[in-house]
Amino acid sequence: MEKAESTKEKRRVEVEMRDRISDLPDSLLLQILSLLPIQKAIATSFLSKRWRPLWLSLPILYLDFRYFQRLTFFTRFVDKLLSLVDLKSVTTFVFYCKYYKNLEYFEWWKMSKWIDAVISNRVQHLELHFSSREDYYELPSSVFTASSIKVLRLNGVMVGTLSCVNLPLLQVLHLEDVQFKDVGSLEMLLSSCPLLKHLVLKFSYGGDKSPIDIRGLNHLVTAKVPQSLLPLEALSNVTFLRLYENGEVPPPKLPQA
């Protein structure tokens, strides 16, 4: 009898706790859901009518291939997800797709379609992480004219020849193992971020080369860059500075001058 009463009381407390969470405002519930893997966030829609539509308005989309067994399953999932969610509510888009099997083929045109979709809906924080392979994925030029972006982190991608860069709100730029087709595009990118505060560049740059020609980094606070890549005048306002020695970072990704 006592055991039955104890079980009943426990269930009553659990129901009350669930009800208290459901009483929270949508904005807070969405922040909580954003901390979960996307599959678990979607699964909360089965809890009750109150939870059913919430995941469609997630402010953060963190898409990670490591939660999937096959690349094809992952791409289908992303395709379906982006067709259902309200992209206008997405402020942060993180895409992590590394170390998939060599026999699997990634449909890069889909990746470009997904990126253009979130950019056109004014995403503020964009992260793209790919495998370091010979066939680097070349980013669509729209990434560098996305005027709403404040944080941009890129890993294992290629940047083609840029004709225009418009990143007026960018404050954080992190480039790791990124290939540039020409030095001029790197110069244009760094010179077109007037509010840039935090800069990380992880690729080698030969010490016998002249620093690239950039200007306008007046708000830079922290910088981790290859030695001799940037002129000292561009780093005069930096509070925290780390200069990489040759050999500390991956092999050169910039063409010969």
When the pLDDT of each residue in the chain is averaged and rounded to a whole number, the result is: 84
Task: Give the separation between CA 219 and CA 128, rounded to whole angstroms.
Answer: 25
Task: Give the separation between CA 155 and CA 99, rounded to whole angstroms.
Answer: 13
Q: What domains lie within the chain, and their CATH numbers?
A: 59-244 (3.80.10)
Percent of the chain with pLDDT over 90: 50
Closest CA to 199 of 168, 230, 228: 230
Residues 112-158: pLDDT tens digits?
999 999 999 999 999 999 876 667 889 999 999 999 999 999 999 99
Q: What is the pLDDT of residue 251?
A: 45
Task: Give the separation between CA 206 and CA 245, rounded to whole angstroms.
Answer: 10
pLDDT, greater one: 248 or 66:
66
Question: Cβ distance 162 to 141 under 8 Å?
Answer: yes
Residues 189-225: pLDDT tens digits?
999 999 999 999 987 655 456 778 887 788 999 999 9
Burial class of residue 34 (count of CB atoms within 10 Å of its CB; 0-12, 13-18, 19+): middle
Residues 39-80: pLDDT tens digits?
889 998 887 788 889 999 999 999 998 888 888 899 999 999
Q: What is the pTM of this model?
A: 0.84
pLDDT, greater one: 255 or 174:
174
**Sheet of 137-138, strand order:** 137-138, 157-159, 179-180
Q: What is the pLDDT of residue 63?
A: 94
